[in-house]
């Protein structure tokens, strides 16, 4: 069996950990995951949503009509572009005048919609991402993964006990990262690669639980499953 090759463009190291665990749950088979962003050898790009923007900018400048048509990406069986939905509340100027000027002809930020439901904001952010990439639509081997409001929600859904107060309205919590870091000892989740990696297995193990609390986790699986059917045997 040939392991499928998957490329991941993500905001940061903790997002990579969560996305990897989610992919393990969805695919239920070995795969080779390559982090294209953040990339340790490219500190000039940086982390966060600004790093994803810069990666998309480089893609856009290469002029490919689709992700699949880009020579640097055509080798992959699946390309996942991650962005947290809270980016919809940001401004290009937050990253300074260089980004603001680079985004002058792109879809505007902020584009946040009332939450619930999370889907309206996600749809608006998908349009923003398409403009960053300068493509009309996603192709047959690429997906957007947009957790609401952040990927931290998927980890929270996996590890918090049933009935926990944070699970109510989880995908619309505006300050979840801070709330998780302030939980009592034994439940506290600090946003560090070490802490997140120690709990990543819970996402894979309790994926249905994650989906029950996070619509965007279900969306990710629904988008990837048809692509996975064409993976090499």
Could you report the per-residue pLDDT of 194-225, keeping only the tens digit for each? 999 999 999 999 999 999 999 999 999 999 99
* Domain tally, the chain: 1
Structural domain containing residue 41? 5-151+214-228
In a domain, 167, yes or no: no
Averaged pLDDT, 17-24: 98
In a domain, 222, yes or no: yes
In a domain, 162, yes or no: no
Res. 43 pLDDT band, cuts 50 70 90 = confident
- H-assigned helices in the chain: 13-27, 48-62, 97-102, 119-133, 152-159, 176-181, 193-205, 207-213, 215-228
- Considering the chain, what is the average pLDDT of its residues? 95
Is residue 187's pLDDT more than 90? no
Phi first, then psi, for residue 47 (nearest 5°) are -105, -175
The pLDDT value recorded for residue 185 is: 86
In a domain, 142, yes or no: yes
In a domain, 37, yes or no: yes
Q: How far apart are CA 219 and CA 233, in angstroms?
A: 24
Instruction: Between 1 and 206, name the one with better pLDDT.
Output: 206
Output the six-digit token pair for 79: 């390309």
In a domain, 45, yes or no: yes
In a domain, 184, yes or no: no
In a domain, 163, yes or no: no
């Amino acid at each position: 069996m040939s392991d499928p090759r998957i490329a991941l463009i993500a905001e940061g190291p903790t997002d990579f950990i969560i996305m990897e665990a989610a992919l393990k749950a969805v695919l239920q088979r070995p795969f080779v995951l390559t982090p294209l962003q953040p990339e340790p050898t490219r500190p000039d790009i940086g982390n966060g949503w600004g790093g994803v923007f810069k990666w998309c900018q480089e893609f856009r400048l290469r002029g490919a009509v689709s992700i699949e048509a880009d020579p640097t990406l055509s080798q992959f069986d699946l390309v996942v572009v991650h962005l947290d939905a809270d980016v919809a509340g940001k401004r290009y100027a937050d990253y300074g005048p260089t980004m603001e000027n680079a985004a002058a002809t792109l879809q505007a930020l902020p584009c946040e919609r009332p939450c619930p439901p999370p889907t309206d904001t996600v749809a608006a952010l998908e349009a923003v991402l398409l403009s960053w990439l300068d493509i009309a639509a996603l192709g047959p081997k690429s997906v957007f993964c947009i957790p609401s409001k952040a990927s931290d929600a998927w980890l929270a859904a996996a590890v918090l006990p049933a009935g926990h107060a944070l699970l109510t309205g989880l995908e619309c919590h505006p300050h979840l990262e801070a709330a998780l870091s302030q939980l009592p000892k034994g439940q506290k989740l600090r946003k560090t690669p070490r802490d997140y990696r120690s709990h990543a297995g819970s996402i894979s193990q309790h994926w249905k639980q994650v989906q029950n609390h996070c619509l965007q986790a279900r969306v990710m699986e629904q988008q990837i499953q048809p692509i996975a059917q064409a993976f090499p045997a």
